[in-house]
Amino acid sequence: MADKHTPSPVAALSSEKPATLMAQLRAVWPDVQRATQVGHTLRVIHRRLNQMGIPITYRRLTVYRSRLQREKAKTVTAPVSPAIEGEPAPVAKAFDPLANWKAQEKKRVDWKYPSGPPDERKLI
């Protein structure tokens, strides 16, 4: 006889529909992207999402699409050039909010009072 055990509550979550609209949209987002690449409009996709049980308004769909596109743009980064063997990896400078002030302090020429009594010829 085969041992039938109930799946754990966490494992059962994989077969359930997510609670939030954004999570539901993320679940079908690859299909939505393929549909737009083929040429379907967002209006048609919106109707189909509602038919499959994702109650999202068109306006919210456009907002969520923008969010997902921004997230994708953030994750796509420029390729980092590989380090040459033997050279240390470049170290990023730490953010210094006073860097501009410190640079100006180095350039500043302080006027110094002459030592001794003032030259009476230069006085008015």
Q: How would DSSP label each residue in the chain?
A: -----PPPHHHHHTTSPPSSHHHHHHHHHHHHHHHHHHT--HHHHHHHHHHTT----HHHHHHHHHHHHHHHHHH--PPPPPPPTTSPPPPPPPP-TTHHHHHHHHH-----PPSSSPPGGG--
Higher per-residue confidence, 118 vs 55: 55
pLDDT in tens, 5-14: 777 888 888 8
**CA-to-CA distance for 100 and 21, rounded, in angstroms?**
46
Q: Give φ, ψ of 21 to 5 degrees.
A: -60, -40
For residue 11, which amino acid is it?
A
Which structure tokens are listed for 110? 């302080």
**CA-to-CA distance for 118 and 11, rounded, in angstroms?**
89
Which of 31-35, 94-98, 118-122 shows the highest mean pLDDT?
A: 31-35
pLDDT of residue 9: 85
Higher per-residue confidence, 84 vs 124: 124
What does the longest C-alpha to C-alpha distance in the chain come to? Answer: 117
State the CB neighbour count (10 A cutoff) for residue 42.
15
| pTM, entire model | 0.53
pLDDT in tens, 30-89: 999 999 999 999 999 999 999 999 999 999 999 999 999 998 888 876 555 565 666 666
pLDDT of residue 111 exceeding 80? no
